[in-house]
Structure formats: C-alpha cells, structure tokens
Amino acid sequence: MLEQPEISPVQTQNLPNVMVVSHLYKSFGSQVVLADFNLTLGNGENLVVLGKSGSGKSVLIKCIIGLLEPDAGTIEMFGKNIPDLDHVELDKIRAKVGFLFQSNALYDSMTVRQNLEFPLRRHWIQVTQAEVDELVTDALADVGLAHTVDMMPAELSGGMRKRIALARTLILKPEIILYDEPTTGLDPVTGKEIIELIVEIQKKYKSSSLIISHDMTCVRMAADRVAVLIDGRCYAEGTYASLKKSNDPKVKQFFE
Amino acid sequence: MSTRLPVKTTAFLRETGGISAFAGRFFKETWKPRYEVAEFIHQCYIIGYKSLPLIGLTGFIMGLVLTMQLRPSLVEYGVASQLPAMVGIAIVREIGPVITALIFAGKIGSSIGAELGSMKVTEQIDAMEVSGTNPFKYLVVTRVLASTLMLPVLVMLSDAISLYGSYLGVNIRGVTSFHLFYTQVFDSLAFTDVLPAFVKSFFFGFAVGIIGCFKGYFSNKGTEGVGQSANSAVVVSSIMIFIIDLIAVQITDVFNLN
C-alpha cells in the first residue's frame, strides 16, 4: 500500500491545461515504473517533474511523446489521447511538441545545419530553402551558436551540443517542449547557462515546458511548479518554495 | 524430467526468431511509402563505392595467389595450359562470391552494426522517430536494399580484378598473351557457371545487411553493446554466408546447373 503524501496537490497558477496525464500505468515485466500517475501542464507554464534516478521520469516523458506505450491511462494533448493515435496522427502532434533528449541525440553523420533541417524536412513543413536558412539561422542565434552551422557534432563541446539540440527542438516553434534531464553530464556553470536559456526561450516563445530533472538548481531556477515522482506516482506537487518547507521525509530528502 | 531447453539453445532460437521477424518487417515496410530514395542512394555510395578499393585489392591478391599456388601442381601433372580455365571457374563460381561476401561482411556488417548500435544507445533512433521519420524505413530498409544490390556488383568487379591478378600470376613464371588468357577463361565458363554465383550474391548481400541492421537496431548495454553488435554482426553474417552457399550448391545440383 502506498503512503499518502502529506502535501496535498497545489494548483499554483490558474492556467488552461495544454496537457493532461491521467491514471498512467507502465510496467516492464514485474517492475512497476508508473502506477496511477496524474499530471497537468498549464499553458505557458514551466513544470518540473522531480525524482530520483530510476524513478521512471524518462519513461514518463517517453510515454508522453509516444516512444513508449503505456499499459493504461490517458495522455491528452491538443485534444487527442496520445496512446490511441496512429503514426500519421502522432507525427502531426509531434510537429507541435519539441523534445530535448538527455543525450542530445544529435545525428553524428550530419552537420549542425543538417541536424536542424532534419525535423523541418521530415515533418513535411512547406518552406522554401530561403525560409529554411532563415529558421536555421534564427534557431542557432537563439542559443548563441550561429558560427557552428557547418560544424559536425563531434567538433562541439558538451554544452554546445546541448545548445544545438535545443536549437533543433526550437526550430519547429513547438507549443510544448519536453526536456529530459537537460543538465545531465554538464558542469554546474554550463548547466546553469542551459537552465537560463530554457527560461529565456520559454519567455520568448510563450511555450509550455515539462522538464524532467533531479538537479535541484534546475528545479529552483526553472520551475513555476514542481511535481515529485515517487513510487511511480505524483507524490506531491507545488511551488519550489512550498515543497521546500515540507516536513514529509520523502519530499524533504530532495531539498536537503 | 525437466523439459526446459538449455539457455544457449533458447538464446539461439530467440535470435533466429528475432532475425526472421526483422526480415519479415523489412519486406512489409519496403513497399510502403514514404520511399527514402535519397538515403538509399547515399547508402549505395557508402556501401558500394566506398567498399570498392578494399574489395578490388583483395580480389587482385586472391587471383594472383591462387594462380601461383595452383601452378606447381598443374605443371607436375602436365596440364599447366589449363591454369586460366581452372582459375576462371574457381573464381567465378565459388571463390569470388564467397571471399568478397566475407570481406563485405567484415567491412559493411560491422559498420552497420556499430553505426545503428551507436545511434540506438545515444537516442538518435528515438530522435528520428520524434522528427516524423520511420527509423526502420530510413535506417534499415535503405541499408539492407543497398547491401543486397551492391554486393553482386562488387562480386562482378572483384571477379574481373581477380582474373587480371591471375593473368599477371600466369606471366610471372611463363608467357601468356592477354588475349589467349581471357579466351581460355571464357571458353571454360558457361552461363550456368555465372548465373548461380550472381544470384547467390544477392542473398549474401541481404544476409549481411539484415543481420548488421538487426544487431545494431537492438543493441543495448551502452558502448559495450555497440562493440558487441559490430562483432556479432560479422560473426553471424559470415556463418550465414556459408549456410547460404551450401544451400545454393544443393539447389544448383538439383537443377543440374553444375
């Protein structure tokens, strides 16, 4: 039997929801990863899902983008339930949802320009070559790396690769951006720069962001609201300040 | 008495079933749009054109060495004049396709296994899917088609280069004109020598492509898994080449093509 959280869910902002995750279950064999997980993401909100390594954060975000199929539950975005969609419909949704991978997932065999052009060309976006060039230039300018356009990913540092991956995520001007551990593998200074960039981008594009992280600096700097993932469910949620004051040992451990 | 199969047998059966299902998916996905023509052409360039120097060099050495090794025995039996015919039949019917396929498995099988394995562990395959691309069609179908179509071309080129190596080998210890050498080679060859060798090359190419892709596509255990994928892609492809060769010999025998 799961313990009841001491902190009751707190709706910190009165925003219309752009994503609603309801009663989500996901297991791998006998290992239960998500069990009755519920979550909402408000329009223009930066929501951080906080959890320990191996708690199922990446599984959650991969279920949301349709890379994993949940065992039960619904994930509603743009009026559609993601697990019910076929590939064609799912691709239409994915064109409106950016995904920043934990490992950046830049294509090693392509230049930075080709990496950025890839989603534009694959989603059948009707744009001329001049418009593609402009979008690539703008996306790279947003992350401060316009000079890397003809470089290969292998020639870039870890922080630069993360920024390029972010530029690739932004190129389709997504309404929702999903970040999977955006500061993992980066030094604290670079990690902080990436978080500042994420906040800046959210303000500029007015997008909604779901950030998966266990990095408390990221949570403190980026979160409008925090959801704590423990035992496969949303154990507690609230603002950073409200959760920091919690006396619940399971929540408190993150802030110590 | 326990009816459980040994672990290695179960793993073998699971892998065989996995490769069969993967091949089945390949045939299903190949006919469905969207057709990745640009990527297919790019893969033909990588798999075919870029393999040419290695295949050409090994083919040349193979022809030269085979000729020099056979010559003393044929001289001993007084049939040295049959050397071009013998080398021609050996290269075109068996040695050319099999050796070329084995080298192809070493170069292309390992390269595909490592490339897809690396893409898998660094989430590049997931990134492709998120970008509105069917990674199976983009990565697997293009590579398997390219290796299936490019290997027969490489085999033909390797045969030609091997025969030229053989011509030079003949002339190291004797004097035979270019015209006489090739007349003897082609007089000894029939269409039924060339056709089965050419057809089995397609199957060799398919086996190398599908096994390399299977190993890479289902790679795990991080960077260690990438190395394992590349290694087992070569080992399994090489074994498959010999199995296909064995089956091809039986079929040509049944249809009296020998």
Contact A94 B127 (CB under 8 A): no
Confidence of residue A7 (pLDDT cuts 50, 70, 90): very low
User: Mean pLDDT of all residues in chain A?
Assistant: 88
Contact flag A94-B132 (C-beta cutoff 8 Å) = yes
Q: What is the mean pLDDT of chain B?
A: 92
A232 in contact with chain B, both atoms CB, cutoff 8 A: no
Chain A: closest CA distance from residue B150 (Å): 21
- Please tell me the predicted confidence (pLDDT) of residue B188: 92
| pTM of the predicted model as reported, rounded to 2 decimal places | 0.87
- Taking CB atoms and an 8 Å limit, are A105 and B134 in contact across chains? no
The residue of chain A with its CA nearest to that of B123 is A105
Spatial separation of the C-alpha atoms in residues B137 and B34, rounded to whole Å: 8
Tens-place pLDDT, residues B46-64: 999 999 999 999 999 999 9
Quick one: average pLDDT of A119-136?
84
What are B242-255's pLDDT values in tens digits? 999 999 999 988 87
**Which of A85, A91, A162 best tests the B interface by mutation, with the highest count of B CBs <10 A?**
A91
**Nearest alpha carbon to residue B205 among B125, B150, B132, B137:** B150
Q: What is the mean pLDDT of residues A157-172?
A: 91
Mutate to test the interface with B, among A68, A101, A116, A212 (most CBs of B within 10 A): A101
Size of interface A-B (CB pairs under 8 A): 46
Confidence grade of residue B162 (pLDDT, cut at 50, 70, 90):
very high
Q: What share of chain B has pLDDT > 70, as a percent?
A: 98
pLDDT value of position A14: 60
Note the Cα B239 to chain centre separation in Å. 11
pLDDT above 50 (res A10): no
Residue A216 burial by CB count (10 A; 0-12/13-18/19+): exposed, middle or buried? Answer: middle
Residue B223's pLDDT is 79
Taking residues B92-101, report their average pLDDT.
Answer: 95
Residue B36 CB neighbours (<10 A): 18
How confident is residue B1, by pLDDT bands cut at 50, 70 and 90? low
- Range of weakest confidence among A119-133, B12-26, B57-71, B129-143: A119-133
Chosen for mutation from B28, B123, B143 (greatest number of chain A CBs closer than 10 Å) is: B123
* pLDDT band per the 50, 70, 90 thresholds, residue A124: low
Least confident of A69-78, A96-105, A118-127, A208-217: A118-127
Q: Which of B115, B126, B132 is opposite residue A122, by nearest beta carbon?
A: B132
State yes or no: pLDDT of A9 exceeds 80.
no
Q: Which of A122, A152, A179 to mutate to test the interface with B (most CBs of B within 10 A)?
A: A122
Minimal Cα distance from A106: which residue of B? B124
User: Are residues B122 and A103, on separate chains, in Cβ contact within 8 Å?
Assistant: yes
Percentage of chain A modeled with pLDDT above 90: 58
CA A105 to chain B, closest CA, distance in angstroms equals 5
pLDDT of residue A15: 65
What pLDDT, on a 0 to 100 scale, did the predictor assign at position B258? 59
The confidence score (pLDDT) of residue B187 equals 93
Domains in chain A: ranges and CATH: 33-96+196-256 (3.40.50.300), 104-173 (no CATH)
pLDDT band at A255 (very low <50, low <70, confident <90, very high): confident
Mean pLDDT for the stretch of residues B144-173: 95
Q: Do A119 and B131 touch (CB under 8 A)?
A: yes
- How would you list the strands of the sheet with A208-213, edge to edge? A97-100, A176-180, A208-213, A46-50, A225-230, A233-238
When CB atoms are compared, the residue of B118, B122, B130 closest to A99 is B130
Calculate Rg over the CA atoms of chain B.
21
Contact residues of B toward A, CB < 8 A: 115, 118-119, 122-124, 126-134
Contact of B247 with B200, CB cutoff 8 Å: no
Contacts of A65 in chain B (CB under 8 A): 130
Write down the ipTM of this complex: 0.87
73-102 of A, contacting B, C-beta below 8 A: 87, 91, 94-95, 99, 101-102
In this structure, the dihedral spanned by the alpha carbons of residues A152, A153, A158 and A159, taken in order and rounded to 10 degrees, is 70
pLDDT at site B2: 56
What the block records as the tokens of B213 is: 């892709």
Chain B residues whose beta carbon lies within 8 Å of the beta carbon of residue A124: 132
Assign 3-class secondary structure to A90-142. HHHHHCCEEEECCCCCCCCCCCHHHHHHHHHHHCCCCCCHHHHHHHHHHHHHH
pLDDT over 80 at A24, yes or no: yes
- How large is the average pLDDT for residues A132-144? 90
What is the torsion angle, in degrees rounded to the nearest 10, for the CA atoms of residue A165, residue A169, residue A171 and residue A175? -160
Distance from CA of A87 to the nearest CA of B (A): 9
Residues in chain B with CB shorter than 8 Å from the CB of A94 are: 130-132
- pLDDT at residue A221 above 80? yes
Asked if the model's pLDDT at residue B20 lies above 90, the reply is: yes
| A28–B contact, CB cutoff 8 A | no
Which helix (H) or strand (E) segment holds residue B92: the answer is: none
Contact B132 A91 (CB under 8 A): yes
Residue A3: the pLDDT is: 43
- Compute CA distances B186 → A79, B66, B176, whole Å: 70, 18, 15
A62 with B126: Cβ contact below 8 A: yes
How many whole angstroms separate alpha carbon A61 and alpha carbon A84?
A: 17
pLDDT of residue A148 exceeding 60, the answer is yes
Residue A2 has pLDDT above 50, yes or no: no
Sign of the Cα torsion A39, A42, A43, A45 reads: negative
With tokens 């293009």, the residue in question is B142
CA distance B253 to chain A (A): 46
In Å, how far is B133's CA from the nearest CA of chain A?
6
- Cβ separation of A99 and B129 shorter than 8 Å? no
* Chain A residues closer than 8 Å to B134 by CB: 87
Rounded Cα distance between B169 and B187, Å, is: 19
Q: How far is CA B4 from CA A30, A197, B7, B9, in A?
A: 22, 57, 9, 10
pLDDT attached to residue B132: 86
